[in-house]
Structure 1
């Protein structure tokens, strides 16, 4: 661009604001999956753990969940990554770095999801591990300034009775750092309705109902999550777009969708980022909160989700600001935090934009 700021004749000038400066909430982030790649390599070396090439020289790994074998490979990599966490300091470091990374990406509120049963054997039990995580979250929140809370999630590949145990655990910590109860892992496994008693336990404790659904299975599974589990938000839920009646029900009931575009493509749900149906969801009136899911395996953090959707769908800044507002409204952040973040989102949008030659 020439001096004085006048565009070169015939050039196109786009106006954008810094997405890392856009205040936002992060509602879909898994515990081990939040780990920095460099931290994984360091801890593995310390413990003498040989990582597969997919987590070293081929990182981020090439993944697909189109079939059971593909999901098994994804889960195996996740389990290997979890195995490097050996000490309380490792857990505290993971939580602190997740908070720091979100702050760098404009995060003002973070709900991190964890299944304590996956760590219980090494850390003295599910209660002891939950205590450790909550203490780490409180410390990281103080140190970084980001508001944080925990979602305890059951694993749908385990027995539903295990989920009831975790729901009771989550209920014991309601109001003390735990804000929701989830159901994760391959949604094609098991019977979702069998987990309804666990969700009822959590509901009675006034926790948010946060199951995964509508990613690896279609709109019919969204209906099951609404009917059987009374979901307040859906982990993913993006495939509700495949049935207008289901999507209409999601919109009418105010159920927020935690859409994770980069992981959708990495797992083969969509062929590319332009195929992620975010514009269709927004046009229908859906509440959408963009999330990073598992940055360790997918290679993209929170601001990256906004950047990829901006580029793939040519989203303007008012739309991106509204996505950020929806993320905070759908969160379990205190009302005063919500009001403050929304004011800052409005200020981001009101500030002068940047001019970039394209």
Structure 2
């Protein structure tokens, strides 16, 4: 029924468009639990009814050359008058766009809580410019994540995305169809917060243009226990996002399972286990990339965390000025 409504709504809008049109894909990437399902209106037409989080519409024709209004309303809306957000836009004839719902609608329970917005990218692609490659657009849509880099470590491609901040797009990147390993690092280029596999060859994406979204919360405990951070992919056909599998968190080839930490979450003290701490230093880095605590471990294996503010941190172990392993932990 939803697909029938989607097709009928876009047909109705298309009839009113006269001659100038633009291609548009709408993506729901607002991780607020209160916005898990929404209605999306084009002018006063409920075009995407019960549109779920981490879902994309297909690319469709919308009127261009004249102002239209894009609105996001609660899933139980009865008209556009119920909208939480309305954004007037004038699309260019013949252009292709991606419109992403981003941000928070709840008054409390989220930290930080940037307001709901529609982030619009022009110059979108429905296929790769070179049919032998895969074209990748990247959007940073995680509200509590800092500016990050995306570094490929499997085939040695290096830094693919440099200093991307929330709401920003970067790309397109044109890469061979292969299976890649990705590290999400803080802007210092060293501290890693997550790792993922990007199996482009396994998914058979040669010739495709895709968008990779940072989605969800790095620290769900500070965000109403909402959906956890991950990398998710949309294709021009739309539908549910495709989740990239989480890989091993590693730095310079040394994986995070070389040591363990407990308790995690912690309050006053963190214990490091499974590694010889005699000659190691440590740093604790917050999600803004700031070193909030550092020192020598020597023979001890405990670190006092009482002075840290609540939130998500990365503990780096350092040997001869080289980060050899890392673990995320939560301070309560």
- What TM-score results when the alignment is normalised by the length of structure 1? 0.27
Larger radius of gyration: 2
Higher helix share: 1
Higher relative contact order (CA 8 A, sep 6+): 1
Higher strand share: 2
